C-alpha cells in the first residue's frame, strides 16, 4: 500500500512539474514574440529618424490628411515620393502616437524598404503605386508569422507571400505593418495573450471590434490609409462600425489569398487559412476612410495578376461603369432583423439614411429578412460548432486562453450529455434566452455525415428563399443596420449573438459594406436609458451597458447587394456616404 501511495504521489508531482514547465515554455515563447515586435518598432523608429535627418522639411500632417485618391494622384505624378509617404506613415505609428494609445500593430514589416526600392526600379506604376498598406495578422507575408493570437503559431514563418500580398505588391503597394487580432480570430473583442488588448483610438474605454480590430484601430488612429481584413461573421464590418471607417466584405470567392501558400498557420479550420468554414466562407476585403478608397483597392486587386496566381478566382475585372452610375436605385430597407434589437442610435441611422435616399430620388421598399433566429441558431452556430466546438478547442491545447474567450471555451467543454439535458430543460425559455444560454447550451451539433450534408443543403435552401424574396420586390440593394456604437472593453464576450446583423450576410455570402453616417448624440443616450430590447432580459440590459457613454462615437449603416455585385454595393455605399456628408 505504501509503495502504491508513493508511486501515486510521485506521479502527481511529476504531472505538476510537467504542467509548470509547459507554462514556463509558453511564457517564454510569448515574451520572445513581444521582444521581436518591440525590436522591430525600434528599428523602424531609427529608420524614420534617419529619413527625417535627410529630409527635414516634410509636411507630415498634410500628407496624412490626404484622401487615398488624392495621394495616389500625387504619387503617380511625382509631386510626392513613395519614400516620403512610407516614412510619414511609419513615423505616425512608430513614434508611439498610435501604438501606445491602442496597441494595434502586431509587427512592422521591415521588408517594406525592399519593396520601396523594387517599385522605384519599374517604369510602370501600378494603381496603388507607393501606397503604404497594413494587413491583418493572419494574411501571409514571406518571412513573418501568421499567429492568429495563438502560441502554437509562433514557430512557423511564412515561406512565401500570400496571393493577396503578391498582387498588392504588383500594383505598387507597400505592405508595412501587420495588425493585432483576437485569439483564434473567433471574437469581436480584439485581444490575445501574446500581444494583448487593442483599444479604440476614438475612446480608449471602448474596443475597436474584431476580428480585424487591429486594422480598424490603426486606420482610425491615422496610422494607415488602407488596410486588408477578413470577415467570417462581421470581422471587417464590426471594426468599421466601431471605429468610424468604411469597410467591404465582398462575395467570398471574389478575392482569394491562399493559393501557393504552403502553410497551415493554425488548425482552427478555415478562419486562419482563408478557406471555407464548412458551408460559410471567409471573405477578404478592404478597410479605409472613404468608399472611393475601397473601390480603388478592389479595382487594383481584381487584375490579371490575381486571376493568374489563383485560377479559382473568377476573372471578373472591376466594373467602373457600375460604380460610377447615377441611375436611381430600388432600395429595400429594415431597421431591425427581428432577432437582436440594436441600440436606438443605430436604428435612427437607418431611418435618416432612408429619408435622405428618398429625397435624392431613390425608391425605398420595406424589406423583412426571413427567419433570422433560425439563421443564427441553426445555420450559423451549427456551422461553426458542428462538432460541438472540438476542433476549435484543439487550437488552445498547450496555450493560455484569453479572458475574452473563456466563456465560449468553457461552454464548449461541457460534456455533450450535460448540454443535451440543459437544452431540454431550457427549451421552454428558448425564445427569451436569445443570447448566452442559446449560444452555450442549445447549439445542436451535426452527429453524422448525413446530418452535415443536410445542414449544407439547408443553407442553400435559405439562400434561395432569400434571393427569391429579394427578386420579388425587384430590389437593387438593401439598407440595414449594423451593430454599434463601439462596445466598452469586456462586453463583446458577453454578447456573441448581438452580431446577427452582420452574420446574416456571411451565411448568405452577399457583398456587404459599412458606412459611417452620424455620431451618437446626447438625445441617443437619453433614449438608450429607455431601451428594453426584446424582453428587457439580462442580455438586453448587458447591451445597454456595453454601448453606454458613447456620445460622439461613430454611427454606421450597412449596405448589401446580391452575390458578385461588389461594384453595385460600393456604388450604393458611395451614395449613402455622399448624402450623409451633405447632411
Active-site residues, by number, are 136, 211, 235
Q: How far apart are CA 300 and CA 285, in angstroms?
A: 12
Cβ neighbourhood burial of 393 (10 Å; 0-12, 13-18, 19+):
middle
SS3 375: helix
Q: How far apart are CA 396 and CA 371, in angstroms?
A: 34
Q: Within 13 Å and on the Cβ side, how many CA atoms surround 144?
A: 27
Phi first, then psi: give them for residue 515, nearest 5 degrees. Answer: -135, 125
Nine cell digits for residue 531: 431601451
Q: How far apart are CA 79 and CA 76, in angstroms?
A: 8
Strand duo 283-288 + 174-179: pairing: unpaired
Cβ neighbourhood burial of 359 (10 Å; 0-12, 13-18, 19+):
exposed
Q: How far apart are CA 564 and CA 570, in angstroms?
A: 12
Nine cell digits for residue 572: 450604393
Strand stretches in 180-310, DSSP E: 191-192, 196-197, 226-231, 246-249, 276-277, 280-281, 283-288
Q: What pairs with residue 532 in β-bridges?
A: none
Cβ neighbourhood burial of 117 (10 Å; 0-12, 13-18, 19+):
exposed
A 10 A CB-CB count for 24 gives 10
CA torsion sign, 112 to 115 to 117 to 123? negative
> What is the full DSSP assignment across 391-437?
HHHHTTTTSPPPTTTHHHHHHHTS-HHHHHHHHHHHGGGTTT--SHH
Q: Where are the alpha helices (DSSP H) in 427-537?
A: 436-441, 449-472, 500-508, 522-528
SS3 464: helix
Task: Give the closest residue to 213 by CA, choosing from 176, 180, 247, 245.
Answer: 180
A 10 A CB-CB count for 196 gives 14
Buried b (16+ CB within 10 A) or exposed e, 531-566: bebbeeeebbebbbebbbbbeebbbbbbbbbbbbbb
Q: Is the peptide bond before 391 cis (omega within 30 degrees of 0)?
A: no
Amino acid at each position: 500500500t505504501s509503495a502504491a501511495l508513493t508511486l501515486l504521489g510521485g506521479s502527481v508531482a511529476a504531472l505538476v512539474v510537467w504542467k509548470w514547465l509547459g507554462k514556463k515554455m509558453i511564457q517564454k515563447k510569448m515574451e520572445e514574440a513581444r521582444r521581436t515586435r518591440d525590436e522591430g518598432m525600434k528599428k523602424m523608429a531609427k529608420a524614420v529618424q534617419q529619413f527625417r535627418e535627410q529630409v527635414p522639411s516634410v509636411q507630415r500632417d498634410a500628407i496624412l490628411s490626404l484622401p487615398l485618391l488624392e495621394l495616389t494622384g500625387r504619387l503617380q505624378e511625382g509631386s510626392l515620393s513613395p519614400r516620403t509617404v512610407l516614412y510619414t506613415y511609419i513615423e505616425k505609428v512608430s513614434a508611439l502616437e498610435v501604438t501606445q494609445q491602442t496597441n494595434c500593430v502586431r509587427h512592422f514589416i521591415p521588408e517594406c524598404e525592399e519593396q520601396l526600392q523594387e517599385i522605384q526600379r519599374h517604369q510602370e506604376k501600378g494603381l496603388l503605386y507607393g501606397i503604404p498598406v497594413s494587413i491583418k495578422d493572419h494574411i501571409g507575408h514571406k518571412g513573418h508569422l501568421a499567429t492568429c493570437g495563438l502560441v502554437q503559431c509562433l514557430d512557423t514563418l511564412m515561406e512565401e507571400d500570400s496571393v493577396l500580398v503578391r498582387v498588392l505588391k504588383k500594383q505598387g503597394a507597400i505592405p508595412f505593418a501587420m495588425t493585432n487580432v483576437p485569439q483564434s480570430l473567433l471574437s469581436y473583442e480584439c485581444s490575445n495573450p501574446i500581444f494583448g488588448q487593442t483599444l479604440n483610438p476614438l475612446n480608449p474605454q471602448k474596443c475597436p471590434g474584431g476580428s480585424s480590430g487591429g486594422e480598424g484601430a490603426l486606420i482610425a488612429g491615422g496610422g494607415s490609409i488602407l488596410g486588408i481584413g477578413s470577415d467570417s461573421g462581421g470581422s471587417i464590418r464590426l471594426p468599421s462600425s466601431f471605429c468610424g471607417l468604411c469597410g467591404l466584405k465582398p462575395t467570398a470567392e471574389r478575392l482569394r489569398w491562399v493559393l501557393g501558400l504552403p502553410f497551415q498557420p493554425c488548425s482552427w479550420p478555415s478562419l486562419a487559412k482563408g478557406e471555407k468554414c464548412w458551408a460559410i466562407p471567409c471573405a477578404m476585403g478592404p478597410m479605409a476612410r472613404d468608399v472611393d478608397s475601397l473601390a480603388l483597392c478592389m479595382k487594383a486587386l481584381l487584375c490579371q495578376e490575381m486571376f493568374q496566381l489563383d485560377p479559382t478566382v473568377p476573372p471578373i475585372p472591376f466594373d467602373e461603369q457600375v460604380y460610377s452610375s447615377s441611375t436611381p436605385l430600388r432600395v429595400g430597407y429594415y431597421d431591425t432583423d427581428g432577432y437582436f434589437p440594436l441600440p436606438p442610435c443605430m436604428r435612427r441611422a437607418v431611418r435618416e439614411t432612408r429619408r435622405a435616399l428618398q429625397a435624392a430620388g431613390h425608391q425605398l421598399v420595406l424589406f423583412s429578412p426571413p427567419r433570422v433566429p433560425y439563421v443564427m441558431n441553426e445555420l450559423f452556430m451549427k456551422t461553426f460548432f458542428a462538432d460541438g466546438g472540438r476542433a476549435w478547442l484543439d487550437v488552445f491545447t498547450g496555450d493560455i486562453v484569453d479572458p475574452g474567450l473563456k466563456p465560449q471555451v468553457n461552454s464548449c467543454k461541457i460534456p455533450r450529455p450535460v448540454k443535451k439535458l440543459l437544452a431540454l430543460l431550457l427549451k421552454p425559455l428558448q425564445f427569451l434566452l436569445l443570447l448566452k444560454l442559446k449560444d452555450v447550451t442549445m447549439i445542436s451539433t451535426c452527429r453524422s455525415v448525413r446530418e452535415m450534408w443536410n445542414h449544407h443543403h439547408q443553407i442553400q435552401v435559405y439562400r434561395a428563399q432569400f434571393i427569391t424574396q429579394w427578386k420579388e420586390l425587384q430590389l437593387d440593394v438593401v439598407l440595414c443596420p449594423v451593430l454599434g456604437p463601439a462596445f466598452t472593453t469586456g462586453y463583446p464576450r458577453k454578447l456573441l449573438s448581438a452580431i446577427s446583423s452582420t452574420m446574416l450576410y456571411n451565411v448568405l455570402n452577399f457583398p456587404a459594406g459599412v458606412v459611417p453616417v452620424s455620431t451618437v448624440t446626447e438625445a441617443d443616450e437619453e433614449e438608450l436609458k429607455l431601451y428594453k430590447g426584446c424582453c428587457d432580459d439580462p442580455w438586453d440590459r448587458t447591451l445597454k451597458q456595453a454601448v453606454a457613454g458613447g456620445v460622439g462615437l461613430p454611427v454606421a449603416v450597412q449596405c448589401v447587394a446580391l452575390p458578385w455585385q461588389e461594384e453595385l454595393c460600393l456604388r450604393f455605399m458611395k451614395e449613402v456616404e455622399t448624402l450623409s456628408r451633405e447632411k
